[in-house]
Chain A
């Protein structure tokens, strides 16, 4: 890491109050993101990916949620120490977010144009006409044909792909320096997915934004991310540059994830599965969350959470046995080309 990173998360722990007491949905998560970099966060449902992103944005309802520990710095400023008002002003202006469900992420009773203009005018005191011009330009930039006319459309008149473009336009309208994309393409079909990822990459190079891309799709990660954070049961399992992750995954969970991804060649016969499911939050496993499903697990794994080990520059893994692949474990295929 060279200069001050765009976003730095240190030891983030996010707790939720539940019927069984306070439970950590995210525990001791640290990562950094430089401007112009794409960090992929990958993991299965319930691994804490979205909670991490929402914690950064400050969108979790408190209560029941609570940031229990850690620090989130954005351009050097501590977000958690900031007054709510200042933090709100950053949202939508300096940091934007795109959500998974384009079908329901737009307000059905207002036109698309209204909603973009509203966001622009929340942050920049512009006359209406100027805000409208910028909205049209943004819609054009995200690839919406005849944007001036689409401004008058209500969300239900647009397809899912178009709506997601509108969501991206809203997120980008105030030229944020950080974009959090929570499964932005999961609800869309594959061709549209590719188009939107291309669009996001273009916008990213054009503006030098930092992007945090959350997904459970290893193909999208391979395609799009510079660095990858693999999360499991609320903790970071492995962090690595994307090539290193696919070439030499160290954490058994990463190995399993990559093994479970179908490739275009389709040579490998049956896909590998990871037996078992995520532990329930708050089950209070003292050790590694993955140990119950892990072929390498030993008594030491179940005793205490494994520390982060730096196995190569920029490649960290939370596994005691990272250098000891077990026979019979899935062999990782190469990066899907």
Chain B
């Protein structure tokens, strides 16, 4: 079916090149599996993530529990799969906030020279802190909750996204068709929306795929430090934090959520590399 679609050219040339790019395909498969499992959590798990079976504590991975059970006899498989929901949800929110505010601030800074200085100095100030340290500071100030994590990570990564977009805007706004649009009477808003933003999408999409990966990682860090979600809602970071005390006796409590994070982040990074290669071979994305 896919082959048929490809042959008939129903997909654009970019999509076809992506599907031929090995790292994009591998990344999409890895990350796609995580997303599908998370969405299908009620159907792929037999017991809920908080269902305790005290007599079956610390079961190693095997027939009884696919990924073992924890100190309260809860299924690690169920907890990792349900935890994916929260981790991915946080990642998606951070990406969405990044897209909205990164685009807004990047366009303003790149297009209006008057705003460029103040906005970019602000970005410099935020970027002067190590990412995780800043997130810890914000999360600690706001008190632990899922919303806090989302806000903290958004604040950390928005300046980076805005900066990347600003760089593209600076290039695109000097192109002839922008001048031509202005000569045809287009307003600034229309020029930004129709002429500049669509021509800046490639680096932005790549950046957002990396932001998703960083958000998942940083969420784990914040939750591990007790600044994230409440322990009743398992996210990957919380699972690792909970398993830490038993790491000598029951390695699977920390290893399984850790592996899940690794798969998701590796998938996203491979996917982002593929996007970068295909959308803009000359682009080098700033890594944080």
Contact of A96 among B175, B181, B184, B190 (CB under 8 A): B184
Task: List 5 contacting pairs A-B, 8 Å CB cutoff, sorted by A.
Answer: A92-B186, A105-B176, A105-B177, A119-B186, A122-B187
Q: How far is the CA of A117 from the CA of B21 in the complex (A)?
A: 37
Contact A171 B177 (CB under 8 A): no
Interface stretch, picked from A107-115, A195-203, A247-255, A319-327, is A107-115
Could you tell me which residues of chain A, from 95 to 152, have a CB within 8 Å of some CB in chain B? 96-97, 99, 101, 104-110, 118-119, 122-123
CB-CB < 8 A to B185: which residues of A? Answer: 88-93, 119, 122-123
Contact A99 B186 (CB under 8 A): no
Known pairs A91-B185, A92-B186, A109-B198. 11 more at Cβ < 8 A?
Answer: A99-B176, A101-B176, A104-B175, A105-B180, A106-B177, A107-B181, A107-B199, A110-B194, A118-B194, A170-B180, A171-B183
Could you tell me which residues of chain A, from 40 to 79, have a CB within 8 Å of some CB in chain B? 57, 59, 63
CB-CB < 8 A to B186: which residues of A? Answer: 92, 118-119, 122
Q: Contacts A109-B199, A118-B194; is A91 near B180 (CB within 8 Å)?
A: no
Q: How far is the CB of B188 from chain A (nearest CB, A)?
A: 9
Contact B183 A96 (CB under 8 A): yes
Q: How far is the CA of A167 from the CA of B180 in the complex (A)?
A: 9
Q: How far is the CA of A97 from the CA of B182 in the complex (A)?
A: 10
CB-CB < 8 A to A101: which residues of B? Answer: 176
Decide yes or no whether B179 CB sits under 8 A from chain A: yes
Decide yes or no whether B113 CB sits under 8 A from chain A: yes
CB-CB < 8 A to A91: which residues of B? Answer: 182-185
Decide yes or no whether B195 CB sits under 8 A from chain A: yes
CB-CB < 8 A to A93: which residues of B? Answer: 185
Q: How far is the CA of A110 from the CA of B177 in the complex (A)?
A: 11
Q: How far is the CA of A107 from the CA of B190 in the complex (A)?
A: 13
Q: How far is the CB of B175 from chain A (nearest CB, A)?
A: 6
Q: How far is the CA of A93 from the CA of B186 in the complex (A)?
A: 11
Q: Contacts A104-B176, A104-B177; is A171 near B184 (CB within 8 Å)?
A: yes
Contact A170 B184 (CB under 8 A): yes
Q: Nearest residue in B to A102 (C-beta to C-beta)?
A: B176
Q: Could you say which of B113, B183, B190, B199 has the most chain A C-beta atoms within 10 Å of its C-beta? A: B183
Contact of A59 among B113, B177, B182, B194 (CB under 8 A): B182
CB-CB < 8 A to A92: which residues of B? Answer: 183-186
Q: Contacts A104-B176, A105-B177; is A122 near B184 (CB within 8 Å)?
A: yes
CB-CB < 8 A to B183: which residues of A? Answer: 57, 59, 91-92, 96-97, 99, 171
CB-CB < 8 A to A108: which residues of B? Answer: 177, 199
CB-CB < 8 A to A118: which residues of B? Answer: 184, 186, 190, 194
Q: How far is the CB of B265 from chain A (nearest CB, A)?
A: 31
Q: How far is the CB of B97 from chain A (nearest CB, A)?
A: 25
Q: Nearest residue in A to B191 (C-beta to C-beta)?
A: A107
Annotate B186-224 by CB proximity to A: 1 below 8 A, 0 otherwise: 110010001100110000000000000000000000000
Q: How far is the CA of A62 from the CA of B187 in the complex (A)?
A: 16
Could you tell me which residues of chain A, from 144 to 200, have a CB within 8 Å of some CB in chain B? 167, 170-171
Q: How far is the CA of A91 from the CA of B179 in the complex (A)?
A: 12
Q: How far is the CB of A282 from chain B (nearest CB, A)?
A: 22
Q: Contacts A63-B113, A99-B176; is A107 near B195 (CB within 8 Å)?
A: yes
